[in-house]
Chain A
């Protein structure tokens, strides 16, 4: 009897957790259409005015621009550097590999507050002004391990004799990497790029120390929390951001799965 009752208990528990996880997101989206400045029941009526106001807010648009720029640049650099690192650690087992791997993976566990303040000190010491650019430099550091892991997972799936075959056919080593390895890794490269981009786009802790006056979107959002009258526009923006991030990541998950299956086929 116990074993028969357990599944239902388990599914109720699972459902409860799922509801708790999605409730804040759902409420945020629902209230972004509410025709009132405070997020309180009962509902006043449906409106799109908060979404309309978003596009008139110059500061906000500038923050969006900063975040897009920081996200694009940092994830491009991180994907490039991560791919180089991934090829090196998957294809070669030479001295220096372990040290490199340890250093590259370390940003996964170091608290962001430490990364933020240590770069703040460095930039201050060398007279580099705080800016969105400075935050971007830091975002590359936290993105490299993720990019490296994603690309490495793809690389181990196909044998390196494909590169050798290309070289036998007259390609140089770097030519073989560019024409064989990189194209085969392209789903992983796109997945890595998108993951790094969403991480940078959402990142608040490090950016809060480094952006100076060029607020990125999360930093701008945080600064708006003090003003209750601006709350509805922030909520509308949050609703857009959450929807976009979930869509991008779902696409990314699909990409990652689609990318791994052919790898297994080639591997055999």
Chain B
């Protein structure tokens, strides 16, 4: 009884805060999604028109497919790039591996906006890379290399996510009992066979976690496309932002946000089905 009271007094304030400023806004957004969104004014009429137009608007669907494609490409390539990195650190870097892993993580501590911004300055048509090539006489005139396109968005997001994806893979590889590999070698496995039959399957939880670590946040990405994407690199998140900041069709934006929320919750659900979260994150 005493415990119950203490538990409630401890959980009360954070619980109330989360209810007021996290759950309630999502609830109000849900209510908004049924309002008529004419010229920015939300009328107090109940309508399913927003859902209808969301389901029938092919422009939305195209952008939705495109951004799902970007997210999948980013998380797949990041995982492929991060695996050898984590593998090298765990199996070849010896006692320096934790220091080297920290070295890999340090850049991710700095402002996300600024790192993307610096890529923009490097890759832009009036940027560092172009001027370097120009002054070395390698090109004749400046050209926008890799900027304002879907490719630029993918490259920038991979740059952002590789260290984060490497983290759970690193943790999974660290947990592998090294004597298993010796046993495999003693039983006649070639190194690549031991890798394919022992290391890879055992590191699978880390691979899955890393993949989802990149997939889930990139689904809602809108800052990177804003900075380096240009018109062709727009993502679903930009569509939502437009509904609120430019088109001022908040009810429509609410429907789009709820759709994204559902997609994210679905992915999180799959992830928790695949294994315990704490296990995947390597805590």
Contacts and interface: CB of A to CB of B under 8 A. Distances in A.
B220 A113 contact: yes
A85 B18 CA distance: 11
B260 A114 contact: yes
Contact of B7 (A10, A13, A20, A92): A92
Interface in A37-81: 38-42, 77, 80-81
Counting chain B CB atoms within 10 Å of each CB, which of A13, A42, A113, A204 scores highest? A113
A260 interface: no
Contacts of A258: none
A141 B22 contact: yes
B261 A238 contact: no
Interface string B10-49: 1101110110011111101100100000000000000000
**Number of contact residues on A: which range applies?**
35 or more
A249 interface: yes
A118 B111 contact: no
Given A113-B220, A119-B25, A204-B113, A14 B89 contact: yes
A94 interface: yes
Say whether chain B's binding surface is mostly helix, strand, loop, or mixed.
helix
B220 A84 contact: no
A266 interface: no
A10 B84 contact: yes
Nearest to B212: A109
B127 A40 contact: yes
B162 interface: yes
A202 B92 contact: no
Interface in B206-240: 216-217, 219-223, 227, 237, 240
A138 interface: yes
B11 A118 contact: no
Interface in B101-124: 102-104, 106-107, 109-115, 117-119, 121-122
Contacts of A204: 111-113, 223
A103 B106 CA distance: 29
Given A121-B25, A246-B110, A28 B10 contact: no
A118 B18 CA distance: 13
Contacts of A96: 7-8, 11
B109 A246 contact: yes
Nearest to B88: A10
B240 A28 contact: no
B14 A111 contact: no
A162 interface: no
Counting chain B CB atoms within 10 Å of each CB, which of A6, A88, A115 scores highest? A88
A182 interface: no
Interface stretch (B54-62, B171-179, B196-204, B250-258): B250-258
Say whether chain A's binding surface is mostly helix, strand, loop, or mixed.
helix
A113 B111 contact: no
A221 B223 contact: no
A209 interface: yes
Contacts of A250: 106
B128 interface: yes
Given A14-B89, A110-B261, A241-B111, A246 B106 contact: yes
Contacts of A23: 122
A24 interface: yes
A24 B14 contact: no
A120 B254 CA distance: 11
Nearest to B89: A14
A121 B88 contact: no
Contacts of B111: 202, 204, 218, 238, 241-242, 245
B246 to A, nearest CB: 13
A7 interface: yes
A242 B116 CA distance: 13
Contact of B222 (A104, A109, A113): A113
A212 interface: no
Interface of A: 2-3, 6-7, 10-11, 13-14, 17-18, 20-25, 27-28, 31, 38-42, 77, 80-82, 84-85, 87-88, 92, 94, 96-97, 100, 103-104, 106-107, 109-115, 117-122, 125, 137-138, 140-141, 144, 148, 153, 173, 198, 202, 204-205, 209, 218, 221-222, 225, 231, 235, 238, 241-242, 245-246, 249-250, 253
Given A14-B100, A25-B110, A173-B6, 14 more contacts: A10-B88, A17-B162, A18-B103, A24-B119, A103-B23, A113-B240, A113-B257, A117-B29, A118-B257, A137-B21, A144-B17, A218-B113, A231-B121, A241-B114
